C-alpha cells in the first residue's frame, strides 16, 4: 500500500505504486528545500549564528563559546561531563572549546576539593566581566527578531518551536 504524505496539485497522480518516500519527494517538486519547514529552521539557525558571531567577536568570543560559558556562569562550576550533558556538545568539540576558553583566560580547570579524580570547570573573573555584555548581544538579537514579528507571531512561533524541539528531543 502506498501512502501519500504530501499531495501536490501539480504532481501527476498516476504513479501511486512508487515507494512512499519517492512519491513524497516527487510531490514536493523541484525545489525540495523551500517547501519543508526544516529548511527554514536550518537557514534561520545559520543566519543567527553568523549575526551572533559577528557581534560576539567584538567581545572576543564566539556564539559556541558563549553557549559553554553560559552554563558555567549559571552553575559556577561543572565537571566536563556535566557541561557536555547540559550544552549537548560532543565531548571532543567541548574539549576543544574549553581549551580555547582556557587559553583566553576565561575558564579554568580546578581539582575538586572532595575528589582528587574530578576536575571542575570554573569561570574566571575575566569571563564574569563579559557576562552582561554577552547577554546584551543575545537581547539585541531577540529585539531584532521581535521587530519583524507581531507579538502574536512571536509567541506562536516560540510555542511551536518549543513543541517541535520537545518532541524531537524526547524521541531520541
What's residue 116's pLDDT? Answer: 86
> What distance in Å separates the CA atoms of residue 136 and residue 9, rounded to the nearest whole number?
47
Report whether pLDDT(5) > 50: no
- Tens-place pLDDT, residues 126-164: 999 999 999 999 999 999 999 999 999 999 999 999 999
- Tens-place pLDDT, residues 59-101: 999 999 999 999 999 999 999 999 999 999 999 999 999 999 9
HSE at residue 28, side-chain half, CA atoms within 13 A, is: 15
- Give the strand order in the sheet containing 77-79: 77-79, 119-123, 107-111
100 burial (CB, 10 Å; 0-12 / 13-18 / 19+) is middle
Q: How confident is the model at residue 2 (pLDDT cuts 50, 70, 90)?
A: very low
Give the global pTM.
0.76
> What distance in Å separates the CA atoms of residue 118 and residue 96, rounded to the nearest whole number?
19
Q: What domains does the chain contain, in order, with CATH numbers?
A: 14-57 (no CATH), 61-124 (1.10.10.10), 130-172 (no CATH)
Q: Are 28 and 35 spatial neighbours (Cβ–Cβ below 8 Å)? A: yes
Per the structure block, which three cell numbers stand in for 159? 510555542
Count of Cβ atoms closer than 10 Å to residue 87 Cβ? 19
Length of the chain: 172
What's residue 171's pLDDT? Answer: 65
Amino acid at each position: 500500500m502506498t501512502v501519500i504524505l504530501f499531495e501536490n496539485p501539480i504532481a501527476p497522480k498516476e504513479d501511486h505504486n512508487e515507494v512512499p518516500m519517492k512519491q513524497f519527494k516527487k510531490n514536493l517538486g523541484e525545489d525540495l528545500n523551500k517547501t519543508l519547514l526544516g529548511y527554514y529552521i536550518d537557514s534561520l539557525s545559520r543566519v543567527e549564528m553568523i549575526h551572533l558571531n559577528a557581534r560576539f567577536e567584538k567581545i572576543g568570543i564566539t556564539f559556541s563559546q558563549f553557549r559553554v560559558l553560559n552554563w558555567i556562569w549559571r552553575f559556577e562550576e561543572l565537571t566536563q561531563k556535566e557541561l557536555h550533558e547540559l550544552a549537548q556538545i560532543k565531548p571532543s568539540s567541548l574539549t576543544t572549546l574549553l581549551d580555547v576558553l582556557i587559553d583566553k583566560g576565561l575558564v579554568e580547570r580546578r581539582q575538586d576539593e572532595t575528589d582528587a579524580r574530578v576536575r571542575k570547570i570554573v569561570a574566571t573573573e575575566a569571563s564574569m566581566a563579559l557576562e552582561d555584555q554577552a547577554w546584551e548581544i543575545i537581547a539585541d538579537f531577540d529585539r531584532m527578531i521581535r521587530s519583524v514579528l507581531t507579538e502574536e507571531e512571536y509567541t506562536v512561533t516560540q510555542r511551536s518551536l518549543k513543541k517541535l524541539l520537545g518532541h524531537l528531543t524526547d524521541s531520541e
